[in-house]
Amino acid sequence: MARKIGVYAVIAYVLYGLFIYWYLFYFADTSLPFEYEGSQADPAVFLNARELSLSEEYSKVRNLLFFLSTPLEWLFYLLILLVGLSKAFKRWAEQSTRFKFFQTAIYFIWLSFFAFVATFPLSYISYSLAKTYNISTQTFSSWMKDELIDFWINYGIMVIVVSVLYWLMNKSRKRWWLYAWMLTIPFTLIMVFLQPIVIDPLYNDFYPLKDKELEQKILALADKADIPADHVFEVDMAEKTNALNAYVSGIGGNSRIVLWDTTLNRLNDNQILFIMAHEMAHYVKKHIYVGIAGYLLLSLAGLYATARIMNWAISRWGNEFKVDHVKDLRSLPLFLMILSMLMFAASPLTNFVSRYQESQADLYAIEMTKDPQAAITSFQELTRAGLSQVNPPLLVKIFRYGHPTMLERISALEEYEIKMRNENID
């Protein structure tokens, strides 16, 4: 039975991959609606023929990799259960030490290592793709360094999380999911607080903005928005990417206004001020707190659903999974697989909320700067730098886009520009 489940799962993954390939390369229509042709949202207006061709090619392959990677993770966890590796990991851990925490650490290092190896090919293809299309400028050694930092940070955090999770499962078979959720509240807040000052500097160097004149303009904008800020940081990203970005991160006293040096190199001051006004809008409109609250609500529903599904799955396929009960550490791949599936299923909702917030931030920024042309040209340059599709396929938008499409963003700014012009005439 275990072999049959594994074979069916592999066949299902292959068929799913073929469907996604057909959808992205043959079925999906990314052409611009005729009413937008010739507008500032039309990529043919601001991209040359080569850039247009490259953006379509790059986007299709990148989207294919996205849709293949998450279900590959599910398939990996399922096969780990079916072939008995989860059982072997636990046996090796128990033979190595009698202390529960260290048993969990040993079990999870084996699971993490196998997961890293299984997903590495797609990660490397994604890296190579970005290099081929000149999005990434990162050397292989630098990329591997970031991959290993990711590995060890995730491992360190997850060892603690998994240890606490299975301790709760052993203490309360029925309500472990509720107690686990209660602990996610302080954990989430701590991680958001630590991200800009502890984790982010592990990947990149942050330093005060060198252009003091621009810094004063940004701080004046922050003061206008009632954002307490004394410095603007720039981060060295040119050695890793040609993409552009800026953000406001953190909560409370550790919040930071950050600009990538690639953004500074390719955009003028007015364009940068619009982008910074957009990022400040997230702070002003409390989007980070709304995001945390939404995440906690989804976590509650997700953990409850995971508990119910795990009980059902083990009662039905426990023999095939080599797992007797939920509280057995061998069930961890099942827990991770179900949680990942639920997160993927919830992504259309979370992306919808995120796109709404981003639209709010665009509106706030344009009302603050009153410079539609700077806003429009900044989005055009972002499209060029990232080789983004202006009008992506529907499934891509639903499952991938936490921002409105460039078609939606630029056309909204054009409408605002027309509105401003009419008001000035009146």
* pLDDT for res 187: 84
* pLDDT for res 251: 65
Catalytic residue among 279, 328, 371, 408: 279
391-397 contacts at long range (C-beta below 8 A, 24 or more positions apart): 391/30, 391/31, 391/32, 391/33, 392/30, 392/59, 392/63, 393/23, 393/24, 393/28, 393/29, 393/30, 393/63, 394/28, 395/23, 395/28, 395/67, 396/24, 396/28, 396/63
Catalytic residue among 215, 362, 371, 408: 362
For residues 59 and 172, give the distance between their C-alpha atoms in angstroms, rounded to a whole number. Answer: 47
- How does 228-253 read in b/e, with b if 16+ C-beta sit within 10 Å? ebeebbbbebeebbbbbbbbbbbeee
Asked if residue 192 is part of any domain, the answer here is: yes
Asked if residue 223 is part of any domain, the answer here is: no
278 belongs to an annotated ligand binding site = yes
Per-residue tens of pLDDT for the chain, all 426 residues:
778 888 899 999 999 999 999 999 999 988 888 888 888 889 999 998 999 999 999 999 999 999 999 999 999 999 999 999 999 999 999 999 989 899 999 999 999 999 999 999 999 999 999 999 989 999 999 999 999 999 999 999 999 999 999 999 999 988 999 999 999 888 887 877 777 777 788 888 888 888 888 888 888 888 887 777 677 888 888 888 988 888 777 666 666 778 898 998 899 999 999 999 998 898 888 888 888 889 899 999 999 999 999 999 999 998 898 988 889 999 999 999 999 999 999 999 999 999 999 999 999 999 999 899 999 999 999 999 889 999 999 999 999 999 999 999 999 998 888 887 777 665
* pLDDT for res 29: 86
325 belongs to an annotated ligand binding site = no
DSSP 185: H
Asked if residue 78 is part of any domain, the answer here is: yes
Asked if residue 308 is part of any domain, the answer here is: yes
Is 279 marked active-site? yes
Asked if residue 209 is part of any domain, the answer here is: no
Asked if residue 143 is part of any domain, the answer here is: yes
For residues 194 and 215, give the distance between their C-alpha atoms in angstroms, rounded to a whole number. Answer: 24
User: From residue 137, how far is each of 55, 129, 296, 387 by CA, in Å?
Assistant: 17, 11, 36, 14
Q: Name the domain count of the chain.
A: 1
Please tell me the pTM assigned to this model.
0.89
Structural domain harbouring 315: 2-204+286-425
403 belongs to an annotated ligand binding site = no
Asked if residue 268 is part of any domain, the answer here is: no
Asked if residue 292 is part of any domain, the answer here is: yes
User: Which residues have CB under 8 Å from 267's CB, separation 6+?
Assistant: 244, 275, 378, 381
